[in-house]
Structure 1
Amino acid sequence: MPNERLRDALLRNGLDLDHVAKATGTDPKTVERWITRGRTPYPRHRHTIASMVRETENYLWPDAVAPERKAEIAESEVVKVYPHRNSIPVDLWDRLIEDATEHVEVLVHAALFLVERPTFVKGLARKAANGARIRLLFGDPASREVARRSDEEQLGKGTLSARIRNALAFYRPLQSVDGVEMRFHKATLYNSIFRFDDEMIINTHVYGFQGAHAPALHLRRLSAGDLFETYSESFETVWSQSKPATF
């Protein structure tokens, strides 16, 4: 069975059989078999190719790594566990935001704490101008899902919707910026996701608690890892079901 993920990744990065063959020290015909027949390269070749196309080995070859090994790698993807999101050091947020050059992806309801940083929105515009892809997903303030979450977090009727609208006011300058996309979702949000290139903050949601008081994970993507990829795929699923944000 052809490996369409590998084929697509090579095409997106402008790479042909000769490029891959030279990088891996193999024959172009071998590379062709990896694509057209779905053959699995040796681990050292998988790592090289994954680095070339900026994808994980787990994405390109889902069955190549044994489940036991995936579990071991997943442990290494966890940089640190924080008992509460508001215990994450400010300088960590600042570093993640400042260092991101390719991807900024945010899946939240409101996340007002982000726009409390005076330069955050301007920074996103600057990153987009330099070629980064910025994708922001907010809870639909008019949805039943947001109303229900406001009750579950004991915020009071309409409070979360108001927070979302308050946050959107800060993002209004990004509406016409190329490279910045903003959407509304109606998903049952089990986690908030903050991706900055190959690092993530995952803010778990706990029934009855506000997000700031729920645990958070700091993840760093590893080529053969599964954990980072799981949350990345979750973001993509919500994104595909969302609609453009209206202000």
Structure 2
Amino acid sequence: MAPVVLPAEPVEPDPELDWGHADWAEARTRVRRAGRAYVWLNLVEQRLRSVTGAVLRPVYEPVHGAEGWVVAAMGPAGREGVQRAAAVRDVSRRKGYLLDPDDDDLLVFLTLPQLRELIVTHWPCFEPWLGGEGGRRELELLLDELETARHVVNRNRALTENVLERTEQAAQRLLSLLDSGARHAGVQRVPVDVLEEIVGDRYADVIGVHPDRVSLQRDLPAEDLFDGAARLDAMGIALNLLGQSFTGRRLARLAHEGCRLRLLFLNPASSAVRRRERELGLGRGELSRQIETNIMQVRRVRARLEREAHGGADGDGDGAGRVEIRVFDETPRCTAYLVDGHSPDGLAVVQPYLRRARGMESPVLLLRNRDAERGAEHGLFDVYREEFDGCWQDSRPVS
């Protein structure tokens, strides 16, 4: 071996070897995007693996055994890929990489394209579950959409924001398709982001932050937030997110469908309203009229439900007594909408009141109730639920 020749004098390092602020920022951006995409791709691969095993294992395993059924299912065209998967598994066994005994299965080592090939090749077995030829076309299109992100993440290349967004949407749709379109509890108003499940507890229930209400309603329209709710507790000055997004007819339908509404407005005749008008530069009585308009809308809904309960209009009266209206006189501190606040997977939309910003312009926190997972530990959801309960007790009913 030739000796290593060292330089006679020290060589100054190339300045390009040092990363500046912009380089670190770019690297973190790449990691953030690739990390989100990886989590979604991992979840999709696990779900595809589970579905494939559940459908094809009973068909092939009785004949070919626990080790041979994957080889038989792949057929001659996929034999080379299966051999590579088996070789990777053997290496993992020797080096102790299989930390979970359940992972010592050849199906675990198949790639996303191989799982796709299994489903397409055996489509008659999957068709009753995934919805005929339309389901097959949609599944293939969604997997095509995911393939770009899979290629980029596997090779640690840069992922654009646009591709990441399409990847997340395709992954969510594909997971819904594999679950036969079923809408599970807690996903009816807003989908559970897979990263929310992983890091949600770290941020005290906060699953989303929006700079203003316009941004919130673009990502989470009011109908998606409120529809299907069993209980809605709301407190604020005028409750415009509800009053301006839902017509009286839709509010009545919400009550008829079983939702109990407890709505807490700032008293339009209180001195706190006049102070708020001065803060926002509004004319005297302008904010009071807005509050009164929203209260009147809810009162008309309540009266309609009461008439139906007493046979004064068509209807079965199921919504009677489900709409309560109260007002408070204290200084308003926040707007809070608690949707199914006492259920394990409830949602809350919270906005603080800023001195010079209207409610539409204030930052928004989206919270998820995690009592069932957290045990005795409390997060922000509990703080605002207790705030509502205390304010409700000190308020006065509106006749």
Q: Report the TM-score when normalising by structure 2.
A: 0.41
1:92-241 correspondence to structure 2 within 5 Å: 92=220, 93-100=222-229, 102-117=230-245, 119-176=246-303, 177=305, 178-197=321-340, 198-223=346-371, 224=374, 225-241=378-394
Q: Which has the higher helix share?
A: 2
1:75 aligns with 2:203: yes
Report the CA distance shift for 1:172/1:123 in structure 2 as closer, same or farther (over 3 A).
Answer: same
The answer to whether the 8 A contact 1:74-1:226 is kept is no
Q: Deviations over 1:193-244 (max 9, x none)?
A: 0111110100111112111111110111101242101100000011001101
Q: Deviations over 1:35-76 (max 9, x none)?
A: xxxxxxxxxxxxxxxxxxxxxxxxxxxxxxxxxxxxx83615
C-alpha distance in structure 1 between counterparts of 2:386 and 2:203, whole Å: 19
C-alpha distance in structure 2 between counterparts of 1:74 and 1:219, whole Å: 12
1:243 aligns with 2:372: no
Three-state SS of the structure 2 residue aligned to 1:234 is helix
C-alpha distance in structure 1 between counterparts of 2:202 and 2:387, whole Å: 16
C-alpha distance in structure 1 between counterparts of 2:266 and 2:202, whole Å: 29
Three-state SS of the structure 1 residue aligned to 2:227 is helix
C-alpha distance in structure 1 between counterparts of 2:219 and 2:339, whole Å: 14
The Cα of 1:120 is off from its aligned counterpart by: 4.2
The answer to whether the 8 A contact 1:134-1:179 is kept is yes
Q: Deviations over 1:7-43 (max 9, x none)?
A: xxxxxxxxxxxxxxxxxxxxxxxxxxxxxxxxxxxxx
Report the CA distance shift for 1:146/1:113 in structure 2 as closer, same or farther (over 3 A).
Answer: same
C-alpha distance in structure 2 between counterparts of 1:235 and 1:87, whole Å: 24
C-alpha distance in structure 1 between counterparts of 2:240 and 2:281, whole Å: 17
Percent of aligned pairs sharing the same letter: 31
What RMSD in Å do the two structures reach over aligned CA positions?
2.2
The Cα of 1:168 is off from its aligned counterpart by: 2.0
The answer to whether the 8 A contact 2:352-2:362 is kept is yes
Structure-2 residue corresponding to 1:55: none
The answer to whether the 8 A contact 1:124-1:134 is kept is no
| Structure 1: gaps spanning 5 or more residues | 1-71
Q: Report the TM-score when normalising by structure 1.
A: 0.64
C-alpha distance in structure 2 between counterparts of 1:130 and 1:99, whole Å: 8
> Number of aligned pairs?
174
C-alpha distance in structure 2 between counterparts of 1:190 and 1:74, whole Å: 25
Runs of 4+ in 1 over 6 A off after TM superposition: none
Report the CA distance shift for 1:91/1:172 in structure 2 as closer, same or farther (over 3 A).
Answer: farther
Counterpart AA for 1:219? L
Three-state SS of the structure 1 residue aligned to 2:208 is strand
Q: Which has the higher strand share?
A: 1
Bigger radius of gyration among the two:
2
